[in-house]
Structure 1
Amino acid sequence: MTTIIVGLGNHGMKPMRHSIGNMVVNSLASVLGLSWRSDRQCCGFICETENEKQEQIILLKPRLLMNVNGRSIAKTAQLYRVTPDNIFVIHDELDYAVGKVSIKQGGSANGHNGVKSAINSLRSDVMHRLRVGIGRPTTLSQISPYVLDDFIESEMPLVMSTVDDCVDIIVKRYNLVTATDKLVREQKDDRTKG
């Protein structure tokens, strides 16, 4: 079985709340000791690994803007023959305060254009989603500038802690082997051989 873990964001743009999915998947790749490579077929950046059960895990950062990133997800799913229920999408959630996260399977996009693009491109809403809170502005007219702005300095410790929590959730959920775990295992192997 293959799983795709996608971090949504606006590739190539300044840091912003809307790109917290990218922050999480970047941190995940780092913890796993993986390097990103550009993939034209996927319209994004990918890294590949296996979990404890030798199942293939693909990390994906779409190279497209948020509102059309579903094309990248669908192309990657087609290339690796992954069904929507084996796709895990990490995205920002306006309805949650900074620091709150939850996992959801299926359901509507709830106004999130990146999730809407994924649902439309995959022709399914059954993917699993890690919803990462970014807070909500006080008025509807402020939503667009709010999600396109970066977190304020006082929020950053909680944001970084939340990113770490999200990585821990994903590592446990998918039985992933971190770079530290690999190093410890290699050292134990070396000691038993020597």
Structure 2
Amino acid sequence: MFIFHVGNHSSEQGLDWPTRVKIIRGTAKGLAYLHDEIPLTVPHAHLKSSNVLLDESFEPMLTDYALRPVINSDHAHKLMIAYKSPEYAQHGKTSNKTDVWSLGILMLEILTGKFPENYLTSGYDSGSDLGTWVNNMVKEKRMGEVFEKDMAGTTKDSKSQMIHLLKLALSCCEEDLEIRVDVKEAVEKIEQFMDDV
């Protein structure tokens, strides 16, 4: 097992497109399982790339879930919320929709190859976060520039899949909780095109 990390290093080959889709799908399904099948009273609240372990066939496994109640509450907000959603940054509250925000940021990290360090250091800042950068690129009709360059395994068909997943990631990062998709809907949308990968 090893920790998932997107970034390309000169000595190793980056993840190909089918593997990235597999990681996104498995992570979303794992999160849905935690939300729907395990009677947790708290959300995962700590979903980030370093808490996604990959086995030898790149199947993702989520770690560090539901630890918030056992951490000193004075330290929990600093230690246990990885990608700080707008509602968490403003009100200090977490919910399953906070996990969906984190899933969206993780998806953007996988698609762009960019590590969203601003979330881990300073919290949510709508002016500098990964989701805002991607949204701005889309508005400027520069969507093709957001995807990690040198991604192996891409085809003409995978380009439309990449756009589909990018749009889904942005809907997971919607600031309005009422509009933000839930994890079950995210999994359904991922499954809609999985047969083509």
TMscore range, shorter length: under 0.3
Higher helix share: 2
Quick check: which one's strand share is greater? 1
**TM-score (structure 1 length as normaliser):** 0.24
